[in-house]
Amino acid sequence: MKKKIDIILIKDHLKQGKKGLLTNVARGYAFNYLIPSKIAEIATPKKIKHIQMFENIKIKQKEANQIENKLLQDKIKKIDKISVYKKKGENNLIFGSIKEKEIIKWINKYTNLSINKIQIQSVETKSIGVKNIQIVINSTTSINIPIYIIPTNI
């Protein structure tokens, strides 16, 4: 009789690992604790194949996301500058401020890219001049783009 048995974790377990992990444990530990507590189940060839199928799907999705992020990054890098026209008040201040919504509208109008509000990191600007915004593509990649705030009533 085998002393070890292959199991698949149904839930995250502190000692054994994350959900969906195929691991080898002692028979008594599996049958007396893990399986009755519904932390794990016995690994059958069909269940192993099922888990591998889901892992392959995750890998393909990850690759597709990387390709999509690369294309988005290339399109955003083509933007040299963003020009926004605002009414000028006293001391080179503008009426209102430049917000993410205006930047998204400009990018969508001129490049047909759809960017989320949370991808844009900028300081709200209230004066005329050149400011930089940062567009975050993913957790490791971000691009800086200058915004030219141009007065309309000179």
CATH 3.10.430.100 range(s) for the chain read: 78-151
Token pair for residue 146?
Answer: 């200058």
Residue identified by tokens 């141009």 is 150
With CA atoms as reference, report the closest residue to 20 among 46, 43, 1: 43
pLDDT value for 1 = 63
Where do the DSSP E strands lie in 10-78? Answer: 22-26, 40-42
Please name the CATH architecture into which domain 78-151 falls.
Answer: Roll (3.10)
3-state secondary structure string, 83-131? EEEECECHHHEEEEEECHHHHHHHHHHHHCCCCCHHHEECCCEEECEEE
What's the CATH superfamily of 4-71? Ribosomal protein L9, N-terminal domain (3.40.5.10)
CATH 3.40.5.10 range(s) for the chain read: 4-71
Give the CA dihedral 98, 121, 137, 79, nearest 10 degrees. Answer: 40
Residue 8 CA from chain centroid, whole number? 29
Written as tens digits, the pLDDT of the chain (154 aa) is: 678 999 999 988 878 888 888 899 999 999 999 999 999 999 999 999 998 999 999 999 999 999 988 888 888 888 888 888 888 888 878 888 888 888 888 888 888 888 888 888 876 778 888 888 888 888 788 888 888 888 887 5
pLDDT value for 129 = 84
pLDDT value for 135 = 86
pLDDT value for 56 = 95
Segment holding 134, helix H or strand E: strand 129-136
Token pair for residue 105?
Answer: 């509208």
